[in-house]
Structure 1
Amino acid sequence: MSETPTPPTGPDERPDGRPDVRPDERVAVVMITYNRREEALLALSRLRELPERPHVVVVDNGSGDGTAEAVRREHPWAELVASPVNLGAVGRNLAMERLDVPYVAFCDDDTWWEPGSLRRAADALDAHPRLGVVTGRILVEPGAREDSINAELLHSPVQGPAWLPGPALGSFLAGASVVRRTAFQAVGGFSERLWLGGEEELLAADLATAGWELVHLPDVVVHHQASTVRDPHLRRRHGLRNTLWFTWLRRPLPAALRRTRDVLAGAPRDRVTALAVLDAVRGLPWVVRERRPLPERVERRFRALEESQRTSAARRYVS
């Protein structure tokens, strides 16, 4: 594994040490939102202030709180896609179809990119043509505290090629990642069936199968102030279901059985978990039809992650 790059001394510096405030046309931002009008408006205000001045596509997933109308009124510079229904993560696929830039950063309505981070991600993607995803470091607000997942990303057990500019990853975090648009679209983007919640793992596996690499760069920084407008039980239900579906869709049988055991052993024994398992079992006919076990070179990545997934406090399905 290659060494982690040393972060620059400033938010985004030119060779002469002065901040780089030029617009960067290489990268756009896609944000999905649902019934979080004030948070979406604040997120857009922060995106507007970035030195990269990215084109922003915001997908309102059928909000009933006037989000779309408020975005039109207060942020006419942003491109709005007002979906009549909640598309979940697939809203990102819809936004991606409107873009022709090489790189796209995802942004949730309760996250924001640090100035200069989009430029650094684009530089890394420019420098490494087989790099498909850059996942940044997450700072939790208020207080800019290190997210507990950062240590796991930095010390990822996945073995990648020597040319990678940082630790290789098996999966990624959508709200903290910049993707190569052509790679994303070539593998079909996010699954409509998974909808939202742990939707990244299946996409990451398909990217790796297609020959793309995923990397963590700690000098690419995103801030996260978790919204209070959410249903944590529903998120856990979908996350558990999607983890089981991914496991059954892509892992070889012994690994699928082992991972299923570990996921269920680490989940609370309650009604939410029972409903998640029931949802997953109801999808078995679809899983059987769509099952494509990973090639061995990609399966090794997910095998390497099993121990950290089993012991991780950051990845536990609780609510």
Structure 2
Amino acid sequence: MPFVFIVIVNWNGKVDLLECLASLKSSDYPKDRYSIVVVDNGSSDGSQAAIAREHPDATLLKNTKNIGYVMAANQGIVYALDSGADYVWVLNNDVSVNKDTLSRLVAIGEKDGKVGVIAPVIYSFQEPPRIENAGYKINFWTGQLKKLKIGRDIFADPADRSADVDSILGCADLIRALVFKKIGYLREAYELYFEETDFNVRARKAGYRVVVVKDACVKHRNASTMNRLIFRRAYLLLRNLFIFEVLNAERRHLFVFIPYYFFIHIPWFLLRGCVYGIQVKLKCRFK
């Protein structure tokens, strides 16, 4: 069985992190064939002590400050590769996995050596759970990522177990170790957001497949940490979209994308920010 390193970045997300780690304990993947690495970005909520107390088998890499998601993820990935990983499963700390999720992802990877990035279908924590993400189709002309619909865009045939996509959400990606060795790590220029999209595009350009596995599932709380920093999140999304296009799109795409970015994307993000600010003020006033 391939050896899998599970890399989780945490910053002041103790409650979500402990739930994530608890879900991993129930995994049916052989216990001697995976290892958990938590990279903590200088949390002040007791995360480090909680990990040491409740999950002593997990490796804890401690940073004295928040160095950003991508840099911390790369820190964990380097540790995993240096330790002999066959696959690296990069998990968000606000994810809860099913018992068979990892086994199903690895099984797809082992069927085809050209499968480089493997993702489960992402569900919400709402009851009843709804599908949050099953992959994206990238439009380089506009910079838009279209969510793919199960039964329409992918998995139209009920017999299909996996489907090739342009990109995946990035909260539970299983990545073949050889992919890192061929194309490098996550680009740290992004800090957070679009780093997985960039990585997926580079992997596909290098000849690897990016796939979603229909019967592998996780639940995702959807940016629990960044929901507390809504304006920072909007800034990073807008900035990183531009970086992504410049680094990955063809020149012909940029002639359309750049006007679209300034006349559509920026006004849209500004409008969303204003609406959110008004909502916050109204909530405070009428509490």
Structure 2 gap ranges (5+) = 135-146, 155-159, 274-287
Q: What is aligned with 1:145?
A: 129
1:271-315 deviations in Å (ceiling 9; x for gaps): 888xxxxxxxxxxxxxxxxxxxxxxxxxxxxxxxxxxxxxxxxxx
Q: What is aligned with 1:237?
A: 235
1:2-47 deviations in Å (ceiling 9; x for gaps): xxxxxxxxxxxxxxxxxxxxxx653231111111122212211221
Matched, 1:86 2:70: no
Q: What is aligned with 1:98?
A: 79
Distance in structure 1 (CA, Å) of the matches to 2:149 and 2:178: 24
2:3 aligned to 19, 26, 30, which one? 26
User: CA shift at 1:190, angstroms?
Assistant: 0.7
Q: What is aligned with 1:171?
A: 167
Distance in structure 1 (CA, Å) of the matches to 2:16 and 2:192: 19
1:43 aligned to 9, 17, 20, which one? 20
Q: What is aligned with 2:120?
A: 136
Please say if residues 121 and 220 of structure 1, whose CA atoms lie closer than 8 Å, have aligned partners that are also in contact. yes
User: CA shift at 1:261, angstroms?
Assistant: 3.9
Structure 1 gap ranges (5+) = 1-23, 158-163, 274-319
Distance in structure 1 (CA, Å) of the matches to 2:128 and 2:116: 27
Structure 1 pair 227/208, CA: closer, same or farther in 2 (3 Å)? closer
Matched, 1:63 2:59: no
Distance in structure 2 (CA, Å) of the matches to 1:146 and 1:80: 33
Please say if residues 10 and 40 of structure 2, whose CA atoms lie closer than 8 Å, have aligned partners that are also in contact. yes
For residues 159-198 of structure 1, the aligned pairs below 5 Å read 166-198=162-194
Q: Percent identity?
A: 22
Distance in structure 2 (CA, Å) of the matches to 1:149 and 1:42: 21
Structure-2-length-normalised TM-score:
0.77
Distance in structure 2 (CA, Å) of the matches to 1:106 and 1:271: 33
Greater alpha carbon shift after TM alignment, 49-58 vs 141-150? 141-150
Please say if residues 156 and 167 of structure 1, whose CA atoms lie closer than 8 Å, have aligned partners that are also in contact. no
SS of structure 1 residue aligned to 2:56 = coil
User: CA shift at 1:61, angstroms?
Assistant: 1.4
Q: What is aligned with 2:214?
A: 218
